[in-house]
Structure 1
């Protein structure tokens, strides 16, 4: 994966969007007849097993360097935020329409831009900010 399409962040971002869209559709059907927290738990088990198999099959489970405390803290915080997001997302899907829930969930794109500027010191051009505003407006238009 050192060259070509597979080394492009854009390629992986588009795949992420496709799988996120499928997640919404599959999850909406999946939560119809069970508790949303149980649905989230089942989804998490599937992810854990799948990632475990990927790490084992590719030999990536062998970490050659120790993981720093800072790295571990932020990975734990990320995991907690992911879990909270999934729980909220599945509850929203249980109650609402996927076509309305998903755009509101994707307001995370807007929040990432804002948080990136505030907490990570990233810089966005006026054109980037216009795009962020359009994403926010588009999400709201689709959802409501």
Structure 2
């Protein structure tokens, strides 16, 4: 089991499962309230769960021990996450989960492109074919 939980694939698959559940739960959850308020509730829950997890496992860190550059990119990531969630919940309020989620997953295509452009990552021809299939598949799934 230790080998399994130290695998990136294990955690990525769990992430996909929870992301799918997020879409379904959020679609039901935004039905009777403002989508931005729904995002706030979700954020408070996430904050509480993570704070409890870090406290329970003794992994809280001294904030001054974290480099400034790390803070900068984590703040930028947090802002991007917040913007993504606001847009995602607004889209779920207006559209079907089966349409919104695949378009949201075009982020996979964008991560591949941004990884190459900004991080110097390299993708093979097979990888690029996969990226194109993901993009095309997301668009096809979202069609009505």
TM-score band (shorter)? over 0.9
The residue aligned with 2:53 is 54
Compared CA separation, residues 41 and 4, structure 1 to 2 (3 A) = same
1:34-88 superposed Cα distances (whole Å, 9 cap, x missing partner): 0000000000000000000000000000349811111100000000000000000
CA shift at 1:25, angstroms?
0.0
**2:34, 2:64 → 1: CA distance?**
41
**2:31, 2:67 → 1: CA distance?**
42
Number of positions where the alignment pairs a residue of Structure 1 with one of Structure 2: 143
Say whether 1:89 aligns with 2:88.
yes
Aligned to 1:4, the other structure's residue is in SS state helix
Structure 2 residues not aligned, in runs of 5+ = none
The residue aligned with 1:142 is 141
The residue aligned with 1:19 is 18
Normalised TM-score (structure 2): 0.96
**2:41, 2:63 → 1: CA distance?**
31
Say whether 1:108 aligns with 2:107.
yes
Runs of 4+ in 1 over 2 A off after TM superposition: 62-65
